[in-house]
């Protein structure tokens, strides 16, 4: 039996016999065990970012559940013999049932492609975006009805959050929903004593404030509070969480104009990354992020050559894992550096290539930043009419995306051009 086929049959049996659906983590672990994957391989393949001890606890609960459903002694079912223990029983059940009836709770299998996307945090397709928006709406509805639902509402929100949390680059139209979900998760996780989700909720609220409104004192203060609370809950066993948290703190420092503080956080991230790491894709993603923000540190203090070196490294690691969105973002910065050095042909090439790609993927935030850079380039080239055209397009898009600080900055260029 294929993994998804066996999963849906098992889910139907759990629903029939226990009156509940399989949770998202159970569905992920079922597929991983069925394929014979190790815990770290499951975490990587399905972007399953729980603490290792918590994953093992969930795995043990799943094998006990499988033993119960298949009417076997609990000690005879573990992750190493999971498929061989279950498959004969499921085949027997299948022969006595109608496959057309096996609908089950198909959320997790339907959105596995989103999990794979989240591993590299790349662009959505239009179809994926519809699924993403549907999930957010579904989560908001669960939260509204939470007081009338049983305890399963919390786990349902957690499961769906794991699917959508990494796609911060498409939240422009959904920031309020993201904050609503995270604030609800924080309260519910505290009530449940779910320490990993408490820490994650704090960290993601901090990131949300940085991304949504990075340059206002209120947002910076709130982000600082959330990230400090997350830091109190972080343990060195949760290496990936600690790395991401240091990167978020570096992003906040950069928004505050504190490049030296940002560099300190990135150095700490590299120290965490220096610990033994099981998966090269995850490592490359982290290194791409670290070098990217190190490049921004150098750029803001005018050390453009060092910035360019960092961006080249960021692009190298992004390219190794097929992270196209990161490559384009890096090239936008490299175009800005080329403008500073007077390498206008290189800047023109990088920006034109980037604009084609981000328009194709409807990445409006990146498009606005490219248009801003194009306005600066055209000004340097002496083509003031084109510079005004690109700067106006950038300003309109910044306003539409509520990127107010960027809109004010590009207004300064427009005033120079008038």
d(CA 169, CA 171): 6
d(CA 239, CA 278): 11
Let me know: does 26 contact 58? Beta carbons within 8 Å.
yes
pLDDT in the model for residue 119:
47
pLDDT in the model for residue 103:
32
pLDDT in the model for residue 109:
35
List the chain domain ranges: 3-107, 342-418
* Residue 34: partners with Cβ closer than 8 Å, 6 or more residues away: 3, 6, 7, 82, 83, 86
d(CA 348, CA 373): 10
Q: What percent of the chain has pLDDT over 70?
A: 87
pLDDT in the model for residue 245:
95
pLDDT in the model for residue 114:
46
Sign of the alpha-carbon dihedral angle for 253, 258, 259, 260: negative
pLDDT in the model for residue 89:
82
d(CA 278, CA 286): 13
Cα of 277 vs its chain's centroid, Å: 19
Buried b / exposed e along 336-365 (16+ C-beta atoms within 10 A) = bbbbbeeeeeebbebbeebbebbeebebbb
d(CA 243, CA 273): 7
pLDDT in the model for residue 308:
96
**DSSP secondary structure of 3-23:** HHHHHHHHHHHHHHHHSSPPP
pLDDT in the model for residue 400:
87
- Taking 50 as the pLDDT cut, the residues of the chain under it are 97-120
- Which helix or strand (DSSP H or E) is residue 85 part of? helix 82-95
pTM of the model: 0.72
Look up residue 413 and give its two tokens: 């260029």
d(CA 370, CA 330): 11
Look up residue 366 and give its two tokens: 């990146």
pLDDT in the model for residue 30:
92
pLDDT in the model for residue 102:
31
pLDDT digits (tens, 9 = 90+) for 176-192: 889 999 999 999 999 88
pLDDT in the model for residue 141:
79
- Report the alpha-carbon angle 58-63-68, nearest 5: 125
pLDDT in the model for residue 105:
28
pLDDT in the model for residue 44:
83
Collapsing DSSP states into helix, strand and coil, what is residue 319?
Answer: helix
pLDDT in the model for residue 275:
73
Look up residue 294 and give its two tokens: 């190190």
């Amino acid at each position: 039996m294929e993994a998804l086929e066996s999963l849906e049959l098992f889910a139907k049996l759990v629903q029939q016999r226990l009156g509940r659906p399989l949770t998202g983590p159970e569905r992920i672990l079922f597929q991983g065990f069925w394929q014979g994957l190790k815990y770290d391989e499951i975490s990587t393949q399905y972007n399953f970012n729980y603490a290792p001890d918590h994953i093992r606890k969930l795995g043990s609960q799943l094998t006990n559940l499988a033993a119960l459903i298949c009417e076997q002694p609990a000690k005879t079912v573990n992750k190493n013999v999971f498929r061989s223990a279950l498959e004969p029983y499921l085949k027997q059940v299948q022969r006595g049932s109608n496959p057309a009836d096996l609908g089950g709770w198909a959320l997790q299998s339907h959105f596995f492609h989103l999990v794979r996307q989240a591993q590299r945090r790349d662009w959505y397709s239009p179809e994926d975006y519809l699924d993403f928006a549907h999930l957010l709406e579904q989560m908001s509805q669960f939260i509204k009805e939470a007081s009338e639902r049983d305890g399963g509402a919390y786990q349902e929100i957690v499961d769906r959050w794991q699917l959508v949390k990494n796609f911060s680059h498409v939240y422009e139209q959904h920031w309020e929903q993201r904050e609503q979900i995270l604030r609800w998760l924080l309260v519910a996780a505290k009530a449940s004593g779910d320490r990993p989700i408490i820490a994650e909720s704090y960290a993601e609220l901090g990131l949300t404030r940085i991304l949504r409104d990075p340059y206002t004192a209120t947002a910076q203060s709130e982000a600082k509070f959330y990230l400090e609370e997350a830091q109190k809950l972080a343990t060195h066993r949760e290496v990936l969480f600690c790395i991401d948290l240091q990167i978020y703190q570096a992003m906040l420092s950069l928004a505050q104009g504190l490049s030296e503080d940002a560099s300190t956080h990135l150095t700490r991230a590299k120290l965490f990354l220096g610990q033994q790491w099981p998966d090269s894709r995850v490592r490359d993603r982290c290194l791409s992020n670290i070098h990217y923000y190190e490049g921004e540190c150098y750029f803001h203090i005018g050390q453009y050559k060092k910035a360019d070196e960092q961006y080249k490294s960021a692009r190298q690691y992004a390219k190794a894992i097929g992270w196209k969105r990161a490559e384009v973002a890096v090239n936008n910065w490299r175009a800005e550096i080329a403008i500073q050095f007077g390498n206008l042909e290189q800047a023109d090439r990088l920006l034109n290539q980037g604009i084609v790609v981000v328009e194709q993927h409807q990445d409006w935030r990146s498009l606005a930043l490219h248009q801003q850079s194009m306005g600066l380039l055209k000004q340097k080239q002496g083509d003031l009419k084109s510079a005004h055209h690109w700067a106006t397009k950038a300003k309109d898009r910044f306003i539409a995306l509520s990127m107010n600080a960027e809109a004010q900055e590009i207004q300064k260029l427009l005033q120079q051009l008038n």
